[in-house]
Amino acid sequence: MSMIFPLLLILFFVLIYFTIKGLKKKKENITTIEILIFVLYMLSFLLFGIGLITHSNQHTDAIDPVDLECYIPFGEKHIITLILYFICFNISAGFIWVKGRKLPPLSLVLFLIFLFIGIVINSAILIQITTHNTETLDVYKENIGTFLFIFTPALSLIIAIGLLIKVIKEEKIEAKNKTYKNKFINYCNTFLADKFNESIWALLFLIPVFITITIILMLFGQDVNSISKVFTDTTTWALSQKSHPPILDHKGHYLCTVAAKGSPDIVKPIRLGKRHKNIIIVNRQLQIANAFEEMITDISPKLHRFIRSNYDKYGYNLSLKINSKMGSNITYILMKPLEWIFLISLYLLCLNPEKKINKQYKI
């Protein structure tokens, strides 16, 4: 694993090198500043990717900040909408940068529309990631997320505005250089050159194109307001409107506790509970295991100390290796036979087994 990251980094820079080489052939008179901005933009993708790796949890997930986990600034269900506009924006920016006014009029207008939409979305992303409230995450006090995410939308805005200025200037120069023998037509051309260039047409058609794309996205399971929900269906970020579950108690990462981090439809969380003064997620399996442990304590404290010492010795280290959603789901399933043994034992030896089970981790 330690060798994979340097290799990927080398491949990334090799890709940038050959991309620049190809651009020099396609685009005439490419400047050093343009190359520098392109390289910085590509590097911002790398930082953004690292940000997504370290901030990959949805607002419904219970996380442990000790494991350097945090919440993603985009809603999972609606992220397809964001990805589509991201792709359209970058393709449009690329074509306008390389071809400029040499593009067919309709293509240029369409690319400008995506540039305008990109400006709005990147502004929203900037607002979203500049505020990251980690106070509810206890030990996670650093706000490295903003640093990792900020460069891509910021550079996108700079590039988009720069390309718009470039197109407007080129259009004015081209329109003013055109002359017609007919005075009336010449007057109309001059008037329209000042009032209605491709940028204006792009603004006029922006809403119809946006509505069309929204309808297409709805056919693929997106909501009519996915473009706003992708920011609001999150937690800890500026535009977030959701709250996250209590953070996991990293001192209680034993097999049953880890199971509470799994998929809700599998591990079946039932309520919140308290363990060592920390709020945790409780499921039936965890309650049964703890009730069984309590019963062993009542019957034989010495046996309980022996079991607990071994569980403390191996349980935590093992839990670190399975501390993920998939690992927790597998753990929950593997623990099922043991859960049934615990439950049968409770019903055999306890007068009120359900009462003992239900009182576990009461707040």
Last residue of a domain, one of 206, 232, 258: 232
204, 311: one domain? no
Main-chain phi, psi angles of 181, to 5 degrees:
-65, -40
208, 262: one domain? no
Is the entire prediction scored with pTM above 0.75? no
How do residues 129-158 score in pLDDT, each as one tens digit?
998 888 777 655 556 778 889 999 999 999
Question: What single letter denotes the amino acid at residue 287?
Answer: Q
- Give the pLDDT score at 256: 52
pLDDT for 192 beyond 60: no
195, 283: one domain? no
Write b or e for each residue in 142-179: b if 16 or more Cβ atoms lie within 10 A of its Cβ, otherwise e.
Answer: eebbbebbbbbbbbbbebbeebbeebeeebeeeeeeee
In a domain, 134, yes or no: yes
164, 72: one domain? yes
- The answer to whether 39 touches 23, Cβ cutoff 8 Å, is no
In a domain, 7, yes or no: no
Q: How far are the Cα atoms of 112, 150, 265 from residue 118, in angstroms, in the given order? A: 10, 15, 37
- The answer to whether 117 touches 226, Cβ cutoff 8 Å, is no
219, 316: one domain? no
- Give the pLDDT score at 30: 80
How do residues 230-244 score in pLDDT, each as one tens digit?
999 999 899 999 888
The pLDDT of 94-111, averaged and rounded, is 86
In a domain, 332, yes or no: yes
215, 318: one domain? no
In the chain, what's the furthest Cα-to-Cα distance? 108
323, 180: one domain? no
156, 291: one domain? no
In a domain, 262, yes or no: yes
pLDDT for 253 beyond 50: no
Whole-angstrom distance, CA of residue 40 vs CA of residue 215: 35
In a domain, 245, yes or no: no
Last residue of a domain, one of 232, 263, 289: 232
The pLDDT of 199-223, averaged and rounded, is 89
pLDDT for 229 beyond 90: yes
Reported confidence tier of residue 248, pLDDT bands at 50, 70, 90? low
Per-residue tokens: 217: 């996205």
In a domain, 243, yes or no: no
Q: Is the dihedral of CA 161, 165, 96, 11 positive or negative?
A: negative
| 332-335 contacts at long range (C-beta below 8 A, 24 or more positions apart) | 332/259, 332/262, 332/266, 332/267, 332/283, 332/285, 333/266, 335/255, 335/256, 335/259, 335/285, 335/289
Q: What would the DSSP string read from start to end of 105-156?
A: HHHHHHHHHHHHHHHHHHHHHHHHHH-B--GGGTT----HHHHHHHHHHHHH
Last residue of a domain, one of 180, 201, 232: 232
How many domains does the chain contain in total? 2
Q: Position of tokens 């709805």?
A: 218
CA atoms within 13 A on the CB side of 67: 23
- CA-nearest of 152, 121, 122 to 45 is 152
196, 152: one domain? yes
Domain that holds residue 325: 250-358
- CA-nearest of 209, 186, 202, 198 to 101 is 198
In a domain, 14, yes or no: no
255, 314: one domain? yes
How do residues 254-297 score in pLDDT, each as one tens digit?
545 555 667 888 888 888 777 766 677 788 888 898 888 888 88
The pLDDT of 58-86, averaged and rounded, is 84
The pLDDT of 44-66, averaged and rounded, is 83
pLDDT for 9 beyond 80: no
Whole-angstrom distance, CA of residue 12 vs CA of residue 17: 9
CB neighbour list of residue 327: distance below 8 Å, 6 or more residues apart: 258, 321
194, 286: one domain? no
In a domain, 294, yes or no: yes
Reported confidence tier of residue 2, pLDDT bands at 50, 70, 90? very low
228, 260: one domain? no
Secondary structure class of 205 (helix, strand, coil): helix
Instruction: Identify the weakest region by mean pLDDT among 4-13, 114-123, 282-291, 322-331.
Output: 4-13
